[in-house]
A and B are shown apart, each in its own frame.
Chain A
Amino acid sequence: AQKITQTQPGMFVQEKEAVTLDCTYDTSDPSYGLFWYKQPSSGEMIFLIYQGSYDQQNATEGRYSLNFQKARKSANLVISASQLGDSAMYFCAMRPPSRTSYDKVIFGPGTSLSVIP
């Protein structure tokens, strides 16, 4: 069975510094996709970044980058130059190959990030 673990319930970071949010996963599928989503206090789910398990390079999107270590089954989100608006819940998610019996997109429990001015 698939599982996502986010071991940091809460994190603090100083404004303008970088922060790493941890995500480890468990799957027996050789191919899969990994997502990160942001949920501000207003409640909407905002897509940040995607990494395919066979992608040759780590994904980057602006200030977000994904430190993907396939052998360790980890997909940590790195936010550079933190801003006050980055304060939110962050969720790691995984989807297996499509059209299988287990085509479920599952989420981790989330990490609450607070950016300190």
Chain B
Amino acid sequence: NAGVTQTPKFQVLKTGQSMTLQCAQDMNHEYMSWYRQDPGMGLRLIHYSVGAGITDQGEVPNGYNVSRSTTEDFPLRLLSAAPSQTSVYFCASSYLGLSSGNTIYFGEGSWLTVV
């Protein structure tokens, strides 16, 4: 009963380093997305995907890359970490469509600090 699994849970990076946040879901969801959460800003959409091979930018895509080679996985890459990317990152997934059953499921969050 894994749901949405994201790793690592905590990470400290130095400015300029690169890293990948992993996200996997086992519910065969078409939709996957990455959000960052900063105090007073809510959850802001970084990138999202509506299926394998299809990705698009969200509200704050700069400095991040994504790919979707399989339905299950949606990694988020920080190309050259900056202190402004210190945040809590959430991966989320759901079926597409406007049905009441299409709840958005979230991972537990990844706390990233860039020093």
A contact residues vs B (CB 8 Å cutoff): 4, 6, 9, 31-33, 35, 37, 43-45, 47, 50, 52-53, 55, 59, 91, 93, 95, 97-99, 101, 103-110
Contact = CB atoms under 8 A, between A and B. Distances in A.
B98 A32 contact: yes
A98 B40 contact: no
Interface string B71-109: 000000000000000001010101011111011111011
Contacts of B99: 52
What class of interface size applies to chain B in its complex with A? 20 to 34
Nearest 4 pairs of A and B residues by beta carbon: A98-B96, A45-B106, A109-B42, A107-B43
Contacts of B44: 107
A103 B94 CA distance: 12
Nearest to A96: B98
A8 B102 CA distance: 27
B108 A43 contact: yes
A78 B92 CA distance: 25
Contacts of A104: 33, 45, 48, 56, 58-59
Contact of A103 (B41, B48, B90, B100): B48
B112 interface: no
Nearest to A92: B42
Nearest to A54: B98
A110 B50 contact: no
